[in-house]
Amino acid sequence: MPENVHVTPHPDGGWRVKKGGATIASSKHNTQKEAIDTARDIVRREGLELVIHGQDGRIRTKDSHGNDPYPPKG
């Protein structure tokens, strides 16, 4: 099963983009928006799920691209 891509606060400030299970971040950004934009490019290209965390580290929202296990009906 493919890993998710997470946008989380970086311990040294700013925001990081990191694939689930990775030991290091793919990239670090000054703003959450920059990190989300970069992460969105990755998940669209690789068909993964984007998981956006808030400043407190808790999951704020998820966004699926590709193999969504719960696609919208209609």
The ranges assigned to domains in the chain are 5-64
- Per-residue tokens: 45: 């290209």
Residue-wise DSSP of 5-70: EEEEE-TTSSEEEEETT-SS-SEEESSHHHHHHHHHHHHHHHT-EEEEE-TTSSEEEEEE-SS-SS
- Predicted TM-score (pTM) of the model is 0.83
- Per-residue tokens: 64: 């699926």
**pLDDT tens per residue, range 36-50:** 999 999 999 988 999
Q: Are 66 and 48 in contact (CB under 8 A)?
A: yes
Q: Which residue has the tokens 């925001």?
A: 15
- pLDDT tens-digit profile, the chain (74 residues): 558 999 999 989 999 999 988 999 999 999 999 999 999 999 999 889 999 999 999 999 998 766 555 555 65
